[in-house]
A and B are shown apart, each in its own frame.
Chain A
């Protein structure tokens, strides 16, 4: 078994305790709810798009340290990105936490992907992968603009 500190790195504990962009965007152009029925975690992701660029992104909800930190870090890397860039980051992150083939991102994005590295400890704990990806699934749903709820199950 790996050391638990690799799962709960300081940056995860910090973002879990003090999530960034933890607020509602009143003038959101897009939003969606994410729900993990297994643990009752809920997240709402708010987006404010200017053209195809993410002008602002924030979230609210309740969840474990992993899911809260994942949502917090997500909002930090996504601000200012285009929709295509956001999707590329998600695809790469998803591959890394599920043990898929991550592929190579172009230089500026590779740096953002690096910021998400502390979350990839979940790949050793299959039950926790959904915690790390819940907010990203909600983001994708928000981009598709149906304002509904995505479930991990």
Chain B
């Protein structure tokens, strides 16, 4: 059953079908409908080539050689940091710390800032929408320091319950750590309000921007957040690289969390003087090619235009909600007032793993399971769901292919 109009140019002003030619994965997997960008996005040729070219022509270690190649490598690495600064509109490049991914970014804050500035009785406030990487580091800190870990609930629509969130804020709240977009449901959190409320109580705010960074413009100065974390691989960049943005005053006051080369000024066996941020938090040889590749991914995103990408994702999310809602027995998980880029659903009588298996047969790649957000799914009443998440290369035809394959599965498992 094919439905819907076919627009040649998608909302956002770029043609996803054409854009697909820039992603070699689609050339090498003809017919692939990739709807798992929320787990990891595919890479444009510009990113793949940039990493390969760097190894071919400019590679050497950074920040240590006096020879030209090392200087060139350092220049490219620091250029990538500047691109990330621009991407987040941070005030200074020194506020951009390269890490392995958002998980490491959150662990860095927890182990450095948390261990240095929190004490028993202090509270960290998270929400039910979080995935495991914004839960477990705080639980570890709770267990080692005796801090309180408070969880703000969702409301009946699946969005953050702002009234309850506000009520849970107290003078003991030292940090609010929240997701920008919930990875399991696509719920967009009104972080502007969250940040304002938290700051009014004197709490610092960390935003987990894994799902937001590839989908909407982020301006950390306008938001006023204290930390912002995202992963390169979900942002059309390589795996193994991610970013922690931290306000300069905070990073400057934070102790190192890993020791080694790169992060020191002077070492004797008695004492070590540490570098200023960001190098203080980048012990050892960094993922140089990953950072440079992330810079290329940011170039790719900015060439499309982040406003255009947001428009595209909004239109396609809306189309997906309409299209999937018409499937009998299919229940979309609630995502509050605004959903972006992620469609998580239950199909009555068909287990998500069976559904994903049938979809795979139709060359439709989705995620099935708990999406590393077990507490949220339990709270919504599902042990597992099927999740379709969007990228710049998806269009309405992909949603139609998904819907048709779901109908096939429904027939197959009909009781």
Whether A66 lies near B369 (C-beta < 8 A) is no
Q: A13-B413, A40-B383 are in contact. Are A125 and B357 (CB under 8 A)?
A: yes
Q: Which residue of B lies closest to A63 (CB)?
A: B351
In chain B, positions 312-333 with a C-beta closer than 8 Å to chain A are none
Q: How far is the CA of A69 from the CA of B59 in the complex (A)?
A: 55
Whether A39 lies near B384 (C-beta < 8 A) is yes
Whether B383 lies near A62 (C-beta < 8 A) is yes
Q: How far is the CB of A126 from chain B (nearest CB, A)?
A: 12
Q: Which chain A positions have C-beta within 8 A of B237?
A: none
Whether A7 lies near B353 (C-beta < 8 A) is no
Q: Which chain B positions have C-beta within 8 A of A7?
A: 357
Q: A62-B383, A65-B413 are in contact. Are A128 and B361 (CB under 8 A)?
A: no
Cβ contact of A39, chosen from B358, B361, B369, cutoff 8 A: B369
Cβ contact of B415, chosen from A17, A64, A128, cutoff 8 A: A17
Binding site for A on B (CB under 8 A): 351-354, 357-358, 361, 368-370, 374, 377, 383-384, 412-413, 415
Q: How far is the CA of A4 from the CA of B369 in the complex (A)?
A: 20
Q: Which of A8, A38, A63, A64 has the most CB of B within 10 A?
A: A64
Interface pairs (9), CB distance under 8 Å: A8-B354, A16-B413, A39-B370, A40-B370, A40-B377, A40-B383, A62-B383, A64-B351, A65-B351
Whether A65 lies near B384 (C-beta < 8 A) is no
A-B pairs, 8 with minimum CB distance = A40-B383, A64-B351, A64-B353, A40-B384, A4-B361, A65-B354, A64-B354, A39-B353
Q: Mark A10-48, 1 if CB is under 8 A from B, else 0.
A: 000100110000000000000000000011111000000
Whether A1 lies near B361 (C-beta < 8 A) is yes
Q: How far is the CB of A148 from chain B (nearest CB, A)?
A: 20
Q: Is A131 an interface residue (CB 8 A)?
A: yes
Q: Which residue of B lies closest to A62 (CB)?
A: B383
Q: How far is the CB of A128 from chain B (nearest CB, A)?
A: 7
Q: Which chain A positions have C-beta within 8 A of B354?
A: 8, 16, 64-66
Whether A38 lies near B369 (C-beta < 8 A) is yes
Binding site for B on A (CB under 8 A): 1, 4, 7-8, 13, 16-17, 38-42, 62-66, 125, 128, 131
Q: How far is the CB of A3 from chain B (nearest CB, A)?
A: 8
Q: How far is the CA of A13 from the CA of B374 in the complex (A)?
A: 28
Q: A13-B413, A63-B351 are in contact. Are A4 and B357 (CB under 8 A)?
A: yes
Q: A8-B412, A13-B412, A13-B413 are in contact. Are A39 and B357 (CB under 8 A)?
A: no
- A13-B413, A17-B413, A64-B351 are known; give 18 further A-B pairs, CB within 8 A: A4-B357, A4-B358, A8-B354, A13-B412, A39-B351, A39-B369, A39-B384, A40-B369, A40-B370, A40-B377, A40-B383, A41-B383, A42-B383, A62-B383, A63-B351, A64-B352, A128-B353, A131-B353
User: Total contacts A to B, CB within 8 angstroms?
Assistant: 45
Q: How far is the CB of B104 from chain A (nearest CB, A)?
A: 22
Q: Which chain A positions have C-beta within 8 A of B358?
A: 4
Q: How far is the CA of A130 from the CA of B47 in the complex (A)?
A: 36
Q: How far is the CA of A62 from the CA of B415 in the complex (A)?
A: 16
Q: How far is the CB of A70 from chain B (nearest CB, A)?
A: 13
Whether A39 lies near B352 (C-beta < 8 A) is yes
Q: Which chain A positions have C-beta within 8 A of B370?
A: 39-40
Q: How far is the CB of B356 from chain A (nearest CB, A)?
A: 9
Q: Which residue of A lies closest to B355 (CB)?
A: A64
Q: How far is the CB of A131 from chain B (nearest CB, A)?
A: 7
Q: Which chain B positions have C-beta within 8 A of A42?
A: 383
Q: Which of B351, B369, B413 has the most CB of A within 10 A?
A: B351
Q: Which chain B positions have C-beta within 8 A of A65?
A: 351, 354, 413
Q: Which residue of B lies closest to A38 (CB)?
A: B369
Q: Which residue of B lies closest to A68 (CB)?
A: B351
Q: How far is the CA of A65 from the CA of B352 in the complex (A)?
A: 10
Q: Which chain B positions have C-beta within 8 A of A13?
A: 412-413
Q: How far is the CA of A41 from the CA of B382 in the complex (A)?
A: 11
Q: How far is the CB of B366 from chain A (nearest CB, A)?
A: 13
Q: Which chain A positions have C-beta within 8 A of B353?
A: 39, 64, 66, 128, 131
Q: Which residue of A lies closest to B385 (CB)?
A: A40
Q: How far is the CB of B406 from chain A (nearest CB, A)?
A: 14
Q: How far is the CA of A78 from the CA of B51 in the complex (A)?
A: 56
Q: How far is the CB of A30 from chain B (nearest CB, A)?
A: 25
Q: How far is the CB of B98 from chain A (nearest CB, A)?
A: 31
Q: How far is the CB of B348 from chain A (nearest CB, A)?
A: 13
Q: Which chain A positions have C-beta within 8 A of B361?
A: 1, 4
Q: Which chain A positions have C-beta within 8 A of B352?
A: 39, 64
Q: Which chain B positions have C-beta within 8 A of A8?
A: 354, 412
Q: Which of B352, B354, B374 has the most CB of A within 10 A?
A: B354
Q: Which chain A positions have C-beta within 8 A of B384?
A: 39-40
Q: How far is the CB of B372 from chain A (nearest CB, A)?
A: 11
Q: Which chain B positions have C-beta within 8 A of A63?
A: 351
Q: How far is the CB of B359 from chain A (nearest CB, A)?
A: 10
